Amino acid sequence: MSYQALIERLTSLGISFQRDCPIAPHTTFRIGGEADLLCVIESLPELHDTIIACNSHHIPYKIIGGGSNILVSDKGYRGLIIINKAKDWEILEDAEIPELKSTALARHRAEDVVTPLEERQNKVIVRIASGIKIPTLMNQLLKVDISGLELFAGIPATVGGATYMNMHGAKLFFGDLIAQAQLLSNGEVKNVSQEYFQFDYDYSILHETQETVLSCDLVLTQGQSKEAKALAKEWIMKKKNQPQRSAGCLFHNLTNEQQEKLGYPTPSIGYVIDKVLGLKGKTIGGAKISEGHAAFIENTGKATAEDVLKLINEIKKQMLLKTGIVLQSEIEFVGELN
């Protein structure tokens, strides 16, 4: 693959990039080989122009937000990795507040881990660039007395990745807050409403369309910042056993049907990996099934993607043998398979 034309275009746009650049530091797992090209973009026009340039020169690209739901191949990525750090936001004064739907999950029972704040009527719409990290955004909004993100406290995601995955915190899904979003789709910017995304558990239509989220208009609450801050703190404390050098929960929790059939006291996949499969603490190379939370695999130092994949396969194999269930992974593999 020749990158010359793309390199010339990026240079003329003033977008800096690196060749043969390690991807691992841009992921929470801290795992993965090198990208042929990597650029860190700081604004939405840069994100837009970089993608248009890749498309017109037929160079594959992959956007990474927080890098908190991906496992990057030890062989790296052939193409351009775009690290999205576009982080502006603005309150849309006088914007109409639409009726929003919640991701209806009749087949999954969420556990009551924290009590959400009482629902208030005074809503506000905030347009947010896709590269801002959720904890940063939450703190900046709390400073101007806007709440609504507290159930996502501590999740190292960006707004773009949270939309792509329909990130969930307690019983709230990120998609539940989206009034509209601005997408880059086949070179055109388009406005879409919540319905467009077909949000589900760990799913949005973006998995199929591969469109890019430029920004999202979130419906948040004006006020309650004191209570929201306290709830965020409580929630972070409850999650303190989750290892940060990971990619979050590895697998979907059990469905209601699966839980009832197996007679387990909880749908938590962490419970199953620990108590049913007895795999908590199992280690392959530098990858370990976390002692703190068995639904997470952590990088203990020098884990490779291959180590993680072997552990994932071991969990899947034992699960099938002991329960007959085929587990579905929540994390995405990026790059060439090892």
* C-alpha to C-alpha distance for 166 and 30, rounded to whole angstroms: 23
Question: Which runs of E-coded beta strand occur in 265-312?
Answer: 283-284, 287-289, 297-299
Which of 246, 253, 299, 318 touches ligand FAD by CB under 6 A?
A: 246
Q: Please identify, using beta-carbon distances, which residue of 223 and 252 lies nearer to ligand FAD.
A: 252
Q: Please identify, using beta-carbon distances, which residue of 213 and 319 lies nearer to ligand FAD.
A: 213
Residue among 176, 179, 84 nearest 126 (CA): 179
Hey, what's the torsion of the CAs at 37, 136, 221, 225, to 10 degrees? 170
- Would you mind telling me the total number of residues written for the chain in this entry? 338
Q: Which stretch binds ligand FAD (CB under 6 A): 162-170, 281-289, 309-317, 320-328?
A: 162-170
Q: Which stretch binds ligand FAD (CB under 6 A): 190-198, 242-250, 285-293, 298-306?
A: 242-250
Q: Which stretch binds ligand FAD (CB under 6 A): 4-12, 111-119, 136-144, 165-173?
A: 165-173
Parallel/antiparallel/unpaired status of strands 188-193 and 178-185: antiparallel
Residue among 307, 285, 287 nearest 297 (CA): 287
Contact call for residue 199 and ligand FAD (CB under 6 A): no
Tokens of 322: 């002991």
- Establish whether 298 is a catalytic residue: no
Question: x/- contact string, 117-136, with ligand FAD (CB under 6 A)?
Answer: -------------x------
Query: What is the CB neighbour count within 10 angstroms for residue 187?
Result: 10
Q: Determine phi and psi for 126, rounding to 5 degrees.
A: -120, 125
- Establish whether 111 is a catalytic residue: no
Which of 193, 244, 313, 328 touches ligand FAD by CB under 6 A?
A: 244
Contact call for residue 49 and ligand FAD (CB under 6 A): no
Which of 252, 310, 332, 338 touches ligand FAD by CB under 6 A?
A: 332
User: Which amino acid is it at 190?
Assistant: K
Q: Which stretch binds ligand FAD (CB under 6 A): 114-122, 157-165, 187-195, 265-273?
A: 157-165
Give strand pairing partners of 188: 185
Binding residues (CB under 6 A) for ligand FAD: these are 28, 62-70, 84, 130, 155-158, 160-162, 164-165, 167-169, 206, 212-213, 242, 244, 246-248, 332
Q: Which residues are catalytic?
A: 249, 330
